[in-house]
């Protein structure tokens, strides 16, 4: 079955799904995106993803090209046409097509909208969750507005590749004071020795993950004490547990940081329980 993409109002086989070479997403990475988990063919936390998308677009002064309702229809239709049961749907909106010039294009230039969807390997994800993953740390060399979910991901791409080359699954960015900001495509968490859940406060230095928001709800319901603050690499290495969160991976235990084991070097109980309960608190639509 060939995959289908939505491009500016049309559903097309992937090989025919193209954008103009003067698309500002292509030339300036002038656009934003969202990745939403698909579970049993349903969207996970669609409302929150569309809210964050609306905010990212507003921060960059790109007009929202579709109503949230219409966007939801497109996301669902793309999922359906690709027969995705368990996977992800990807949405990208750029500032549109215009003769190359750094300044914004003329008013009325239509943003470009692309949606793709694909199945993920469920068994592999479960295996990662049960074994845990290794992360490396890299200096956070990104701009100061990473709270905007922009498609400008060059530092993230380089960080992820560095992780892969080091035999690790993820790279955690570290600010110039030695404190972890977040992963290249995930949020970072630890459980302290006295059992507190810690993740960095959601200011402009991290992306406010949708999974992060829901995990806070799950943790609260489980009676965990939450501290939203920065933590250093050393604190994470000495923590009882560590884990990462993202829409495509939910909760994945981190068992090694820069070659040092976290806790007893095995996935922790808290991370495992948060993963187990996650979908009871997420919205499925």
Q: Which residues bind ligand PMP (CB under 6 A)?
A: 35, 156, 182, 185-187, 207, 209-212, 245-247
Distance CA 263, CA 275 (A): 18
d(CA 47, CA 67): 12
Task: Supply 179's token pair.
Answer: 């404190």
Q: How far apart are CA 22 and CA 97, in angstroms?
A: 5
Query: For residue 129, what are its two tokens?
Result: 């969750």
Decide whether 182 or 241 has the Cβ nearer to ligand PMP: 182
207 neighbors 191 (Cβ within 8 angstroms): no
In whole angstroms, how close is the CB of 107 to ligand PMP at the nearest point?
30
Is 22 or 121 the residue whose CB approaches ligand PMP more closely? 121
Q: Name the residue with the smallest CB distance to ligand PMP.
A: 209
**Shortest Å, Cβ 154 to ligand PMP:** 12
Q: Which is nearer to ligand PMP, 92 or 185 (CB)?
A: 185
> Strand, coil or helix: what is 12?
strand
Label the pairing between strands 10-13 and 112-119.
unpaired
- On whether the CB atoms of residues 140 and 188 are closer than 8 A, the answer is no
CB of 195 to ligand PMP, least distance (A): 23
DSSP code string of 16-29: G----TTBHHHHH-
CB of 45 to ligand PMP, least distance (A): 8
CA angle 110, 60, 24 (to 5 degrees): 45
> Which of 16, 14, 11, 17 has its CA nearest to residue 81?
11
Question: To the nearest whole angstrom, how small is the minimum distance from the Cβ of residue 212 to ligand PMP?
Answer: 6
Active-site residue list: 149
CA distance 105 to 93: 15
CB-nearer residue toward ligand PMP: 97 or 197: 197
Q: With respect to ligand PMP, which residue has the nearer C-beta, 112 or 185?
A: 185
């Amino acid at each position: 079955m060939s995959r289908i993409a939505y491009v500016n109002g049309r559903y097309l086989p992937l090989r025919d799904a193209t954008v103009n070479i003067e698309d500002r997403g292509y030339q300036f990475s002038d656009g934003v995106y969202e990745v939403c988990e698909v579970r049993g063919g349903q969207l996970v936390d669609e409302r929150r993803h569309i809210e964050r998308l609306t905010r990212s677009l507003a921060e960059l002064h790109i007009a929202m090209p579709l109503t949230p309702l219409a966007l939801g229809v497109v996301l669902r239709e793309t999922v359906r046409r690709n027969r995705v049961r368990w996977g992800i749907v990807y949405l990208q909106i750029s500032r549109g097509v215009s003769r190359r010039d750094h300044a914004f294009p003329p008013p009325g230039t239509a943003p470009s909208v692309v949606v793709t969807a694909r199945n993920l390997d469920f068994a592999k994800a479960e295996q990662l969750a049960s074994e845990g993953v290794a992360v490396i740390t890299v200096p956070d060399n990104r701009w100061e507005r990473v709270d905007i979910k922009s498609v400008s991901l060059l530092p993230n791409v380089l960080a992820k590749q560095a992780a892969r080359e080091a035999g690790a699954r993820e790279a955690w960015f570290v600010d110039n004071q030695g404190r972890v900001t977040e992963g290249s495509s995930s949020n970072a968490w630890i459980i302290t020795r006295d059992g507190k859940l810690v993740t960095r406060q959601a200011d402009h230095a991290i992306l406010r993950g949708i999974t992060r928001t829901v995990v806070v709800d799950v943790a609260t319901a489980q009676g965990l004490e939450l501290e939203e603050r920065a933590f250093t690499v050393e604190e994470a290495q000495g923590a009882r547990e560590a884990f990462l969160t993202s829409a495509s991976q939910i909760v994945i235990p981190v068992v090694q940081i820069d070659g040092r084991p976290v806790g007893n070097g095995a996935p922790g109980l808290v991370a495992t329980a948060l993963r187990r309960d996650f979908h009871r608190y997420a919205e499925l639509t």
